Amino acid sequence: MNIPAVPTASVLRIDELPVMPLIPLILLKLQAWEDHLLASKFYLRVKHYTDAADLAQLLPIAIRRGNSIRQESWIPETFVAAARKRLEVYLVWYPTQARQWEQIGLKKASKHPPLRQSKKRNHHVRTLA
């Protein structure tokens, strides 16, 4: 994994244990999702579902706390750019989360409503919901 160095001032402590700030943690989880999705070994590949479930829980927490990528200026731009590329693929799988990624500042607001998968396999439709 490509883990950026976290400045000491940005490290949180809970019960005296160092804790990764939430936004970089989300970006690392997104990186793990892609790594697992592309893994050649089945036992690694199936972990991408768990990564997605973790992201589905972490994003609302970050939003509730008012966390944003803009607050984490210490994160290398190359790391953020790589996360944005990963996010494009992730949102093909989980388009309903697009608004949450916008709220933390990683995705630009869409001009179009998100895609919703219909009951027909691999058929996507735009909705105004």
**Residue 15 · residue 68 · CB < 8 Å:** no
Q: Which segments within the chain are labelled E, that is strand?
A: 12-14, 17-19, 115-117, 124-126
pLDDT, tens digit, 9 for 90 and up, residues 105-120: 998 766 555 555 555 5
pLDDT, tens digit, 9 for 90 and up, residues 96-107: 999 999 999 998
Q: What is the mean pLDDT of residues 24-45?
A: 96
Q: How far apart are CA 89 and CA 22, in angstroms?
A: 21
> What's the whole-model pTM score?
0.79
Number of Cβ within a 10 Å radius of residue 75: 20
Residue pointed to by tokens 């607050």: 71
Q: Which residues contact 9 (CB under 8 A, 6 or more apart)?
A: none
